[in-house]
Structure 1
Amino acid sequence: MVRRSLKLHVQALIAAFQFLTRFPVPVTIPFNGPVLTRSVIYFPLAGALIGICLAAAAWLLEFIVPAWPSAVLMLALWTALSGGLHMDGWMDTADGVLSHRSRERMLEIMKDSRVGAMGVLAAVLLLLFKASLLAELLVNDKAEIIFSLLIVCPVWSRAWMAMAIAGWPNARAGEGIGALFNGVKGVQAAASMLLASAITFIFLIIEGIALHEAFVLLFIALAVTLSCGGLLAVWLNRKLGGLTGDTYGAMNEAIEAALLFMAVLWLNI
């Protein structure tokens, strides 16, 4: 029994990396209910690996490349490491929800592989916003926490996806990517949030942040994630009658941008 549980968790960890990143993990695992249900626990670890790559890129680029080109290159890497999965969800969600059609028609638009005008506009504005925030952080003399910030942003955005999967119904009633995670409950979502908290705290301490300040920053990250993610989830649920795989990706992108924005405000205040 213990061996089977351990095996499922190892498979779930691998599934989280294979599903959310483009890091090569040459292991074949069953993408079934027991594995995928547990995989959401490890979503923050997939985000942490993406964040570590971003922090390493920021450290290398700061020696030879100015802030704005560095920001664009980092953003390109950020998107590529997830295979554009979440950006695709952001665009599809914008196309559907901002069409102001009926619920059924919005879901049909989101399912269409083609990108419309609203999706393109939403993507351009989001990328510009995130690039400007990264550039601001790179030139800010007080940004001692930038490396930790680059790590924890993708951690919390992916932890929220676990919360959203557990907290709201699937809008497509058994169809789409979201249906693969129908077995996710509050216990897995809570475990994902706890893991995100532990990762955040560890990296803040490693970067030399004082203990009391680390707790404050951890609370801020949690508050921004819950408020931004919660408001979006409630709004999307009201529009669509539930959430979809696209909306999970859209919320991931929004929370990353919100955390970067809050960091810039924090440093300037």
Structure 2
Amino acid sequence: MRGFFAALMFLTRIPLPKLNISPNDWHKSAMYFPLVGLLIGGVLYLASLGLNDLFPATVSAFLIVLIWIWITGGLHIDGWMDLADGFGSNRSREQMLEIMKDSRVGAMGVIAAICLIGGKWVAVYELLRLKFAIILLISPFVARFLLISAIRFFPYRKQGGIGEGLRTYLTLMVIFLNFTTTVVLSYYLLGVNGLLLLSGTTLMSGLLVFNIYKKLAMLTGDCYGALVEWSEVVFLFVSLALWRVM
């Protein structure tokens, strides 16, 4: 279970007893990323049930997004902003990587963060209004399944970076089991629409990953964070689109 606690400590700000996490525990942690995503989704879903009885949908949605940011410590948003700064610079591959490593945030990063948070707020509001908040339970789970898939199938070449070694225990069997769980959960909660939603999100997230790989020939920790944020917000928007057409 130390691998799970390593994942929980890294991906969330949930208070935990202090543990000595070894490099091997860290390498195992990636197997549990989707499970941590489901835990995050559970917190968001329960929050939506409580807040919706106290506040109007607009305020409830805003508070849910704040909880979403708090529980992850803004970890993935930071990657999203760094990627936006790098890609928005329209520079060479080496220069983009240098910009992404810079701790300072540029204009493109700020704009990207505003669009992301605003998009989540609007989407969560609509989900609450339509009484479709169950999407909040699944979205973080699916995003982290797509994350471990990207870790497994795309190269990480940044020696000493935060993602080094995470692929070690992500065998094809682990990916398959997580894939099966994702499909079953989506179908159980949403029926055929859940499978359509999962397919649409996977397609859109795949396009992002392939575009990153085309430009950088690798993925970095910032790319992983950006993928999580992108997958979460795409999942919300695709679910709303399906709601209207189905």
TM-score between the two structures when normalised by the length of structure 1:
0.85
SS in 2 for 1:154: helix
**Equivalent residue runs for 1:190-269 within 5 Å:** 190-200=176-186, 204=189, 214=191, 216-269=192-245
Partner of 1:23: 14
SS in 2 for 1:46: helix
2:163 paired residue among 154, 170, 178 = 178
Alpha-carbon shift at residue 199 of structure 1 (Å): 4.5
Partners of 1:226 and 1:186 in 2: CA distance: 18
Partners of 2:232 and 2:160 in 1: CA distance: 27
SS in 2 for 1:30: coil
CA RMSD of aligned residues (A): 1.8
Alpha-carbon shift at residue 200 of structure 1 (Å): 4.1
SS in 2 for 1:179: coil
Shift of the 87–254 alpha-carbon distance from structure 1 to 2, 3 Å rule, reads: same
2:54 paired residue among 55, 64, 86 = 64
Partners of 1:169 and 1:232 in 2: CA distance: 15
Partners of 2:4 and 2:160 in 1: CA distance: 24
Q: Map Cα deviations across residues 161-192 of structure 1 (whole Å, 9 max, x no partner).
A: 100101111142x2321224242443333333
Q: Map Cα deviations across residues 36-74 of structure 1 (whole Å, 9 max, x no partner).
A: 343222111111111111111111111121111111111
**Equivalent residue runs for 1:111-150 within 5 Å:** 111-140=101-130, 143=131, 145-146=132-133, 148-150=134-136
Instruction: Verify the 8 A CA contact 1:44 1:155 in the aligned structure 2.
Output: yes
SS in 2 for 1:178: coil
Partners of 1:63 and 1:42 in 2: CA distance: 33
Instruction: Verify the 8 A CA contact 2:27 2:166 in the aligned structure 1.
Output: yes
Partner of 2:140: 154
Give the letter aligned to residue 93 of structure 1: L
Instruction: Verify the 8 A CA contact 1:11 1:29 in the aligned structure 2.
Output: no
Select between 125-134 and 192-201 the one with higher mean Cα deviation.
192-201
TM-score between the two structures when normalised by the length of structure 2:
0.92
Shift of the 252–14 alpha-carbon distance from structure 1 to 2, 3 Å rule, reads: same
Partners of 1:139 and 1:223 in 2: CA distance: 25
Partners of 2:77 and 2:153 in 1: CA distance: 22
Identity of paired residues, percent? 39
* Residue 102 in structure 1 maps to residue 131 in structure 2: no
